[in-house]
Chain A
Amino acid sequence: MPQTSDDSIPVPGRNEALPEGVSSAHILVVDDMPIMRKMIGMCLERGGFKNITFAEDGDVALQRIAETAPDLVILDINMPRLSGYDVCKKLRADPATASLPILVQSASETAEERVEVFAVGATDFVSKPINHPELLARVCMHLENRFLIRSLSDFQDRMHSELKMAREMQHSLLPEDHIISAVEDIGSASVEAFYKASFELGGDLWGTWPLPGNKLGIYVLDVTGHGVGAALNTFSLHATMARFEDKKLDPAEFLTSLNSSLVGSFALGRFATMFYGVLDCDTDELTYAGAGAPRPIIFGPAGSRALDSSGLPIAIVKSATYENLTDRLEPGESMFCYSDVLVEAEQPDGSILGEDGLVSWIEEAAESGDRTTVVKRLLDRFYADQDEHLPDDLTAVAIHRSKVTNNFDQDSSMPPKVVVISTDDSPLFDYYEGLQAPGLDVERTTLATHESGLQQAEFPNLSAVVIDGAAGYEAAQKKHAIIDPAFVDAGGPVVLVLNGEPDKADPILSFDRVKYFDGQKGVDALRRFLAEEADDFVRICKLKKALEDRAPEEALSLEGSYRFASRKEAQKFAMMFSQASSDPVPLAIGLSELFLNAIEHGCLEIGHDEKGQLIENGLLNEEVVRRRSSEKYRQRYATVNVEHTETSLVFRVEDPGKGFDYKAYLSSENGHDKKHGRGIAMANGCFSRLEYQGNGNIVEAEFELQ
C-alpha cells in the first residue's frame, strides 16, 4: 500500500492544484512487481491523487475493473499469465471499457513494441524507468480529456433526450384517437393521417374536432423555421386556438382572432401558414379560410381540384383579415392537406415535386387502389426516394368521405315519422297529443282523411303507425287501403292501441305483424314504446339499404378477433360479417343488435330506461358521442371473436359492462316484455343459438350457413 508523503511533486505545466474531479479520479495501477506498484502509487499520491487501487496481475485487474470501473488504468506490459497486451484487447472488446484511458508502461522500448501497444488499443505509453513528472503529466492529460469528453457526451445525451421529449410533446398535441373517431362518425368518413416530426424539431401541426350542428373542423399549420424555437411557437399557437372555441364554426374569424393575438409574440421573420375548414355534414358544404398554407386538394370521382388557401400567414401583420370561401366535399370525395416539405423536398433528379406533380401523384394513387389508403400509397412513393430524416416535419392528412352516407350516428336530419290513425270521433284524439316528443314527428289523422287522401303515401319516410283501437278494427279490414303494403312488408311497426289486453278471439288478430299496446299504461309509456320501435325500424332500413349499396367484395376469411367502440364500427363489422351468408340481411340485423347492445349497454353503460328516454328526446346519438369522448368511457371497447365451423359461424361478443340477469330473462316466457328483451328478441330470430355467459356481458351466437 502506498505511504503518505509530504514531498509533493508538481505536475509539469501546472501552477495550481489539481481540480477536485481530477484529483479524486480512480486510478488502477497494474504491475506484477510490488516495488513498481509502490513506486507508481507514491508518485501519484505526491502528484495529488487520492483514489488509487492496485492489481498484481492481468486477471485480478480485469476482475477489479468489472467490479468498479476506474477512470484510468496504468498497465504493465510484461506480466506472467495474462499479459498487458491481452488485458488491453479484452478491455477494448467490452463496450463498457472501450474508451477507458489505458496508460501502458514498459521497460523495453523497441519501435515494434510501441506499435504493438497502440495496435491493441492502449491510449498512451510511458517507458521504464518511470520519469515521475512525465507520468503525472500524462495521467493528468488523459483524465482531463476523459472528463471533458464525458461532460460533452453527457450534454449531448441530455440534449438528445430533451429533443426527443420535445418531439413527443409535439406529438401529444395531435388529436387523440377518440376525437378522430368522433369526427369520422359525424362526417361518415375515415381520417388518414401521417405526421413525422423532423429530427431537429419543426413546427407542423394538424387537428380536427367535432362541432355542434353535425359539423366538423379540420386544420393544418406550419410554423416557419426549425428547432426548439419553431416548436415553442407551435405550442403557443395550439394554446391560443383553445381560447377561441367560440370562433371555431367560422374559419375566417378563427384565423383573424389567432392572427391578432399572435402578432408580436413570434420573433421577426417567424410566422405560421395555416388552413382551417369546417364541413357541414348535412349539406356537404365546406367553408374554409387560408393563411398561406399549401393548397388542399379535393379528389374523387369527378377528378381533383385545389382549394384557394392563399392569405397572409399568421403573426406577420396585425391588421390581416381572412376571408371565408366555400366549396363542397361530397360523399365519395376526399380532401388532402399537407405540409410544404412534400412538394419542396428535392427529388433524385434535383427537381422538386411541386403542386402539379403532387396532384398527378394523388390521381395515380387514387386510381391504383382503395381511396381510403391514398395517403399511404402516396407517401410510400415519396419516401422511396427520400432520406428518412427530412429537414422539416411532414404532415399529410386526408379526410375520405364514404360513398354510402347512411350512418347510425348521424340521424340529425329528421326525427322518425309516426302516424296515428283514429276514427273521426275517437275520445282518445286528445290522448295522442301526448305522443309529441323532440325525437318523434307525430301526425294525427282520422280514418276519413286517410281514406280520401293520404293512403299509401308515406313509406319510406314513415317509421311507425299507431291505430286507435276503435278505428283499428276497421283499419284491419282495409289494411291495404290505408297502410302502405311496402311499409308492412319491410317490417314497419304497426301498433294497435287497445283498452286492456288483446282478446285472442278478436278477428283483428288476423292482421299479423301488429303489435299490441295496452292504452291503460298511459301515453308516456306508449311514447317510449313507439320511439324504440321507430328507432329500430329506421336503423334496420338503413342497414338493408347499406347492404344493397355495398359493392360485392372478395370472399374474406372472417375468423379472428375484432374490437369496436363506435356505433359506426359496429355497423361496419355487422355488414362485413353478413357477407358470409348468401342472405346477408338477417345476419346483419342480428349482429347489429348484439353489437349495439355491447356498445350502448356494455361499453357506455347507458341503461335501458335511459336509452328509451334518450331516443324519445332525439338525444341518443349525442349522448353516445359525448360518453365516447369522456375520460371514463374513452378506453372501453367491445370485442367479437368469429369462428367458422363447417356449417355455421359462431360469434362471441364480449363487452366490459356489468352484464344483466340473463337467467331471469331466459326463464321467463314473457322475456320479450322485460326491459332487456327488445334487442335480444330481435337477435334471437336471426340466430340458431343465442347463449349468454358470464354476467351476461358475453353472448355467443351461432348462425347456420346454408
Chain B
Amino acid sequence: MEYRIEKNDSDTTVVFTGDITFSENVSFRQILKELAESDVDTCTFDLTNVGMVDSAGLGMFLIAKEQADTAGWKLSVSGAQGHVASMLKLTKLSDLLAG
C-alpha cells in the first residue's frame, strides 16, 4: 500500500494505492498521526486505486473513524470498487463511513 495526502484548505484527501491489509498497520498509524497533527475539517479516503481490503484493513478505517469523531472532523470513503466495495457493503461499514 502507498498513500499520498492532498490538502486543499481544510479539506484533506488521502489517496491510497495497492492493498490495505493487516501488514499496513504501521503505515496506517503514520497516516493517522499526520492527520492528527494537521488542521482537518473533512477527510476523504480515496479508495479508487485500492484492489483489496481485508478485515484488518476495515478495522483501521474504524480506528480512523473513532479518531475523527473524537477530534471533531468528518471522515468518509470514496471510490471503492470491486472487492473493496463488496467488503464495505457486506460489513455495512459503507453506511458507517458514508460521511
Contact = CB atoms under 8 A, between A and B. Distances in A.
B86 interface: yes
A292 interface: yes
Interface string A308-339: 01111100110000000000000000000000
Nearest to B53: A344
B58 interface: yes
Q: B interface, how many residues as a size bin? A: 20 to 34
Given A271-B59, A352-B52, A225 B91 contact: no
B62 A316 contact: yes
Given A268-B66, A269-B62, A317-B96, A224 B55 contact: yes
A354 interface: yes
A310 B90 CA distance: 4
Contacts of B31: none
A688 B61 CA distance: 74
Contacts of A317: 96
A273 interface: yes
A222 interface: yes
Contacts of B56: 224-226
B22 interface: yes
A317 B95 CA distance: 12
Contacts of A344: 52, 54, 83
A704 interface: no
A270 B59 CA distance: 6
Contacts of A354: 83
A269 B63 contact: yes
Contacts of A226: 22, 56
Contacts of A316: 62, 96
Interface in B37-69: 51-52, 54-56, 58-60, 62-63, 66
A340 interface: yes
B52 A292 contact: no
Contacts of B60: 269
Contacts of B96: 312, 316-317
Contacts of B63: 268-269
B89 A225 contact: no
B91 A273 contact: yes
B92 interface: yes
Contacts of A355: 86
Contacts of A268: 62-63, 66
Most central of A224, A271, A294, A354 by chain B CB within 10 Å: A224
A562 to B, nearest CB: 43
A26 interface: no
**Mostly helix, strand, loop or mixed at chain A's interface?**
loop
Interface in B70-98: 83, 86, 89-93, 96
Most central of A222, A292, A294, A391 by chain B CB within 10 Å: A292
Q: A interface, how many residues as a size bin? A: 20 to 34
Given A226-B22, A269-B59, A340-B54, A292 B83 contact: no
A295 interface: yes
A292 B91 contact: yes
A344 B84 CA distance: 11
Nearest to A230: B56
Contacts of A392: 22, 54
A268 B89 CA distance: 21
A224 B92 contact: no
Nearest to B91: A292
Given A224-B59, A317-B96, A391-B22, A309 B54 contact: no
Interface string A281-307: 000000000001011000000000000
Contacts of A340: 54-55
Most central of B22, B55, B62 by chain A CB within 10 Å: B55
Interface string A248-278: 0000000000000000000011110100000
A427 B70 CA distance: 87
Contact of B90 (A222, A295, A391): A295
Nearest to A200: B22
Interface in A158-174: none
Contact of A309 (B52, B62, B90, B93): B90
A414 B81 CA distance: 53
Given A224-B55, A317-B96, A391-B22, 16 more contacts: A222-B55, A224-B56, A224-B58, A225-B22, A268-B66, A271-B59, A292-B90, A292-B92, A312-B91, A312-B96, A313-B58, A340-B55, A352-B52, A355-B86, A391-B23, A392-B22
Interface of A: 222, 224-226, 268-271, 273, 292, 294-295, 309-313, 316-317, 340, 344, 352, 354-355, 391-392
List the 3 closest A-B pairs by CB distance, nearest first: A292-B91, A269-B59, A269-B63
